[in-house]
Amino acid sequence: MELPRKILIGSTVIVGLGNFIQQLDHNFSRIAFISGGIVKERTQAISQKSMKDADLNEYKWFVAAEATVNEAEKLARAIKRYSPDVIIGQGGGRSVDLAKMTAFTLGKSFISVPTSASHDGISSPFVSMRGADKPYSVKAKTPIGVLADVELMSKAPRRLMISGCGDLVGKITAVKDWELARDEAKEYYGTYAANLAYLSAKIILDEGRNLIMDKLYGLRTIVEALISAGVASCIAGSSRPCSGSEHLFSHAVEYVAGKNSGLHGERVGIGTIMMAKLHGLDWEKIAETLALFGAPTKGKQINLTEREVVQSLVLASSLRPERFTILNKEKLDKNKAATLAKKVNVI
């Protein structure tokens, strides 16, 4: 069981990044940052000051492009030559995922410094890369530390936070799928990890209006929930508590419709509505909560045609046949998939 050693959440905590690194390991003296160009521009000065304050003077910035296998390999080669003690992913999901994969490839420690609340990968060991052989998340490197500056994250596009809500709501059906796999496929089921993931989703469903009314409080709660969900995956040793049929639908959409078919959490939210219906859950409550946050609930809101929604539903279970979900039990064909999507107003 690999878990983060230290998690720091708060406003303006980025100013203490250098001390945070030293608290994790006094032997970290050579540091590699991975971030996107915009995040580097926004955070480099304050990060460099925090490093200087902590007497950390050896560091180098590596600017990341898209989260693809080719980009990860390119970064790994460049960072290997630099030979850092620790790799920091500072940015959105793309930068964190690339840093996570690079750290795994090079056998280095990894620190997560998210600048947006778009998905639970900010604290989990799992990563999804375009161009990989497997069109779903695979295990890479667990962060030894997570530093989440809520004030900094509040400046990210709101759509990213909304995507994070979609990813959180997806834990409802992910846990139900895991229960189903326990009952029908005799799969290991971790009650504690499942309950932790479920709680991360339930707070979004129960406290939605309060989270919207107080934006900073709401963002912090969402960040805490995303980190807790990621930790649930660390405890389980797999993505089971956080990723089920709704995530398979999301991966299938990206395969069918390409990268311009919404953000990860947006696709997961739409998938959750449909999978909740198959599970006999209150799918209307899920759809209402997503709409409350401004998240898409219909395929056309993320540029999906009816054909693409149906095709994605039919394809989803085949992407990971060893993972038993409600889709294995229902066995959707095109007619059943279309009927399902229409019943829940996704198409």
User: Residue 128 pLDDT more than 90?
Assistant: no
Fold of 6-156: Rossmann fold (3.40.50)
318: its two tokens: 């085949």
Q: Which range (41-45, 100-104, 132-136, 166-170) has the least confidence?
A: 132-136
Q: How far apart are CA 31 and CA 170, in angstroms?
A: 35
Residue matched to tokens 């690079």: 102
* pLDDT value, residue 67: 80
Q: How far apart are CA 218 and CA 209, in angstroms?
A: 9
User: Would you give the DSSP letter of residue 303?
Assistant: T
- CB burial of 118-149 (b: ≥16 within 10 Å; e: otherwise) equals bbbbbbbbbbbbeeeeebbbebbbbbbbbbbb
pLDDT in tens, 87-96: 999 998 889 9
CATH number, domain 159-343: 1.20.1090.10
* Proportion of the chain above pLDDT 90, given as a percent: 90
Question: Residue ranges per domain, the chain?
Answer: 6-156, 159-343
User: Residue 194 pLDDT more than 70?
Assistant: yes
Q: How far apart are CA 7 and CA 42, in angstroms?
A: 22
Q: How far apart are CA 320 and CA 40, in angstroms?
A: 36
247: its two tokens: 């995530």
293: its two tokens: 């946050």
Q: Which value, to the nearest 10 degrees, does the dihedral of the CA atoms of residues 268, 229, 104, 91 take? A: 70
| 266 CB-near residues (< 8 Å, 6+ apart) | 162, 163, 166, 295, 296, 301, 302
Which run of H or of E encompasses 40? helix 37-53
328: its two tokens: 């294995």
Average confidence (pLDDT) over 242-262 = 94
User: Residue 4 pLDDT more than 90?
Assistant: yes
pLDDT in tens, 303-323: 999 999 999 999 999 999 999
Q: How confident is the model at residue 266 (pLDDT cuts 50, 70, 90)?
A: very high
* Proportion of the chain above pLDDT 70, given as a percent: 99
Q: How confident is the model at residue 66 (pLDDT cuts 50, 70, 90)?
A: confident
Contact call for residues 130 and 69 (beta carbons, < 8 A): yes
Q: How far apart are CA 262 and CA 254, in angstroms?
A: 9
Q: Which residues pair with 149 in a beta bridge?
A: 10
Between residues 208 and 131, which one has the greater pLDDT? 208
Q: How confident is the model at residue 136 (pLDDT cuts 50, 70, 90)?
A: low
Q: How far apart are CA 98 and CA 287, in angstroms?
A: 32
Cβ atoms within 10 Å of 27's Cβ, excluding its own = 10
* pLDDT value, residue 1: 85
| 196 CB-near residues (< 8 Å, 6+ apart) | 228, 229, 231, 232, 235, 241
Average confidence (pLDDT) over 247-275 = 95
Measure Cα distances from 243 to 110, 119, 194, 313, 319 in Å.
Answer: 23, 12, 11, 16, 13
* pLDDT value, residue 133: 66
Q: How far apart are CA 147 and CA 50, in angstroms?
A: 13
